[in-house]
Structure 1
Amino acid sequence: MTILPTSWRGLPRPTLLGLFLFFCAGFADGALVPFFPLWASSEANIPTGAIGLLFACYAGGELIAAPLIGGIADRIGRRPVLILSSLGVGCGFIALSFVHGVAATAIVLLLTGMCESVLHPTILTAIADVTEPSAHPRWFGMARVSSSAGQILGPACGALLALVSLGSVFLAGGGMLLLGGIVMLVALAETAGNGDGAGGTDETEEEEGLSALLPAFRDGRLAKLLGWVVLFEISGNWIEAVIPLYAQDAGTLSPSGVGALFAYAAALTVGLQMLVSRFAETRSALWLTVGAGISTIAAFALLAASPAVVSLIAAVSLCAVAQMLVGPLVPTAVNALAPSARRASYMAASSVAVDLKDSLGPSIGTALYALAPRLPWVAGIPLVAIASLGLGAAIGQARSSAGPSEGGAMPQAGAAVENYR
């Protein structure tokens, strides 16, 4: 952790603002994810089997929008995209606290997801624009720390607000993202013309249409990488989507206790992410993903054995460690494959993988839970084992195949992955 004071000195303002916006988004996500299933089942009278489908509407909005506007930050700039997406997601969260019924909730979540589709990838792109490629793994790790710091306060504040009303939790999350959008409006300068991320006048800039916005359709290496990401993350998402119902039905935790549990997991990430990142610098991608897989499998085994408080705490701790290992590795590998003029498009394509995880994960997890409470944990063990091996191999191939033919920034970006390894 002693690297942090030196790292902060001379840090470009867009990077600091990007980390702040990650904090705001983490706060909102931390407020939404643990309490949405409880709000839906208790206050909105939504059947348990439909809760996952509503989660899928949120991710579905992102999936609908990503092919159309995923690469828009490469054309109109990072600043307007960040401002509008922050304000749009914030308004969506606030609207959620006033709606009732499956149809109205689904519409709000769909529109909110469309605004969110460009938020996280554009923040990462802005950070990559103004930092050296060799430092990208470090700052992508810091982005996770900032998001996790928000995810500490989000569930903690949500636990207090849930004593009054579960719907008020969404007001707090939306307000935080509105604040982030206002700060971007006042303080953020455009980053698209900085460094190797500058949008020059090369041939790739003249491409328009769907194929330019979904580089996974044109880059088989990226498609393969993201396929393994989706498979690995689907089961990991069951921790967030299923534990609130699992703990409540077992009588283990109250809604406030669920919020405290996820706040603890986020605090663990804040405290350990940079330490884990330093440790990971000397390990191969396969070593890291296998380690993440073993941690997740151990978490599932504990949950399958018992819904006791000790098992829940140990499980979220192990899953937090797994995400610390692979979290910065994926965007670093995607950035290694990206031509400089299409960096935002490649980051948006990687966001599609996350959106698929957020859509399929809760849907499949809650559906399995509706069949049998322990079924998600038992089914997740072989899925994680296969996906962790495939993901490690795909990230290693992405690093080795990154070359000058893919764009001017490629050699430096490839070095960034090498440094992380």
Structure 2
Amino acid sequence: MITISSSWRAMPRPALLGLFLFFCAGFADGALVPFFPLWATGEAGIPTGAIGLLFGCYAGGELVAAPLIGGIADRIGRRPVLISSSLGVGCGFIALFFVHGVAATATVLLLTGVCESVLHPTIMTAIADVTAPSAHPRWFSMARVSSSAGQILGPACGALLALISLSTVFLAAGGVLIFGGIVMLAAFAETIGGGHAVDSDQDEEEGLSALLPAFRDGRLAKLLAWVVLFEISGNWIEAIIPLYARDAGMLSPSGIGTLFAYAAALTVGLQMLVSRFAEARPAVWLAAGAGTSTIAAFALLAASPAPLSLIAAVSLCSVAQMLVGPLVPTAVNALAPPARRASYMAASSVAVDLKDSLGPSIGTALYALAPRLPWIAGIPLVAIASLGLGAAIGRASSPSTSATDWSTGADAIKPEELRTLVAEPTSE
């Protein structure tokens, strides 16, 4: 016990606080996402076809804000961004408890998305600031574990609160993030610089092009394009299963919350084990494995909405995310110049925001046409996207594309270093 305690104390404090904030964000997402469609159609009187639009407003706020403020942590520091964004998202979730109607809900979600646009990428940036590059895959895996731990308690708490009122889950989700912001205010120390030399020319560069490196770095743009395609269909699990299970009469709101809590528990229990297993495997192999798992999940859901099919499907999708989850931020961080680390992470978050916007919109529209259509249409989409994702990371590590940083003209990370970071992480 003493050895374990000493080991934790030896870890960088900002990184540990980043894991804690990931836990808070995971709790909020877990408490809100599974119950939002049920609240919208049940208590708010919102048509099923409009649910995707509301999800799109939340992601739309992130998409609008990310090009403008996505790289702000590179200029004003990580600490003020983490504090203000966590408090802003928390207040936005609490505001949902008091609003009614499509217009008011859409407005609140849009403003909340603006605050959320910098939360996750800045946490990842702060972790990368204070940890060695060879340890980034392990830390990003621990970030997923922390988020998933929150997603265990979030749906479990939401399932209890749903017995009172579905809208009360917004209070719990917002309260935890506000608490996280207060902890950041009291305990988080600035990490900007992270011990790296900052390029003065890059520091002086301003404007939209400086904040959207995807427009300037072709390798990053291609990688994120495949990430978007892969994640759009994966998002249908969260967005559609609550409606699919309820309409089939298979699960109650509490049962749906329990199902998502189980999926998060699976990630907590297996993420580090899967990451260790994947250390010696190339990125193409990992992407193909993730695609195969997701396709199998969709095939089960298309065959039947029975509880066993739902459990097996969320299990397979959890495994898919365990395989590719740490892979993408590790590759993005490897491509990023130190002075633009937050900007590159913000560009990566734009891909996630597109997934959160397009995924529910497309998925719920397909579901409105036919309950099984999203799963049938998703199978070829996942097959193509997983192969493209693996190939994109493979090209990023090839000598022809890794010799020079196209966005700055500076020396980029060497191919063998990228392979080590993405596919063969070593312990510190």
Q: TM-score, normalised by structure 1?
A: 0.96
Identity across matched positions, percent: 82
What are structure 1's unaligned runs of at least 5 residues?
none
Residue 314 of structure 1 corresponds to: 312
The separation in 2 between residues aligned to 1:9 and 1:399, in whole angstroms, is: 35
Q: CA deviation at 1:8?
A: 3.4
* 2:234 is the alignment partner of 1:236: yes
Q: 1:275 aligns with which of 273, 278, 283?
A: 273
The separation in 1 between residues aligned to 2:338 and 2:360, in whole angstroms, is: 34
- Secondary structure in structure 2 of the residue aligned to 1:166: coil
- Secondary structure in structure 2 of the residue aligned to 1:252: coil
Q: CA deviation at 1:4?
A: 8.3
Amino acid at match of 2:315: S
User: Contact conserved, 2:82 with 2:119, CA < 8 A, in 1?
Assistant: yes
Q: CA deviation at 1:407?
A: 4.9
The separation in 2 between residues aligned to 1:35 and 1:404, in whole angstroms, is: 47
Residue 27 of structure 1 corresponds to: 27
The separation in 2 between residues aligned to 1:10 and 1:410, in whole angstroms, is: 28
Deviations 1:111-132 (A, max 9, x none): 0000000000000000000000
Residue 142 of structure 1 corresponds to: 142
User: Contact conserved, 2:67 with 2:212, CA < 8 A, in 1?
Assistant: yes
Compared CA separation, residues 301 and 80, structure 1 to 2 (3 A): same
Residue 300 of structure 1 corresponds to: 298
Amino acid at match of 1:203: D
* 2:392 is the alignment partner of 1:394: yes
The separation in 2 between residues aligned to 1:238 and 1:6, in whole angstroms, is: 42
> Following superposition of structure 1 onto structure 2, how do residues 180-259 of structure 1 map, counting pairs within 5 Å?
180-196=180-196, 200-259=198-257
The separation in 2 between residues aligned to 1:399 and 1:26, in whole angstroms, is: 31
Residue 39 of structure 2 corresponds to: 39
Deviations 1:338-393 (A, max 9, x none): 01100000000000000000000000000000000000000000000000000001
Residue 326 of structure 1 corresponds to: 324
Deviations 1:146-166 (A, max 9, x none): 000000000000000000010
> Following superposition of structure 1 onto structure 2, how do residues 326-405 of structure 1 map, counting pairs within 5 Å?
326-400=324-398, 401-403=401-403, 405=405
The separation in 2 between residues aligned to 1:5 and 1:382, in whole angstroms, is: 48
* 2:176 is the alignment partner of 1:176: yes
Q: 2:413 aligns with which of 410, 414, 420?
A: 410
Compared CA separation, residues 4 and 152, structure 1 to 2 (3 A): farther
User: Contact conserved, 1:237 with 1:362, CA < 8 A, in 2?
Assistant: yes
User: Contact conserved, 1:280 with 1:420, CA < 8 A, in 2?
Assistant: no
Deviations 1:22-80 (A, max 9, x none): 00000000011100000000000000000010000000000000000000000000000
Q: CA deviation at 1:204?
A: 1.4
Amino acid at match of 2:421: A
Q: Which segments of structure 1 move beyond 2 Å, counting only runs of 4 or more?
A: 3-9, 399-415, 417-421
Residue 14 of structure 2 corresponds to: 14
What is the aligned length? Answer: 417
Amino acid at match of 2:200: D
The separation in 1 between residues aligned to 2:395 and 2:43, in whole angstroms, is: 48
Q: CA deviation at 1:328?
A: 0.1
What are structure 2's unaligned runs of at least 5 residues?
none
Residue 419 of structure 1 corresponds to: 424
Q: TM-score, normalised by structure 2?
A: 0.95
Q: CA deviation at 1:409?
A: 7.7
The separation in 1 between residues aligned to 2:241 and 2:6, in whole angstroms, is: 39
The separation in 2 between residues aligned to 1:413 and 1:85, in whole angstroms, is: 33
User: Contact conserved, 1:71 with 1:345, CA < 8 A, in 2?
Assistant: yes
User: Contact conserved, 2:193 with 2:339, CA < 8 A, in 1?
Assistant: no
The separation in 2 between residues aligned to 1:294 and 1:50, in whole angstroms, is: 31
The separation in 2 between residues aligned to 1:409 and 1:10, in whole angstroms, is: 31
User: Contact conserved, 2:22 with 2:143, CA < 8 A, in 1?
Assistant: yes
Q: CA deviation at 1:201?
A: 4.0
Amino acid at match of 2:139: W
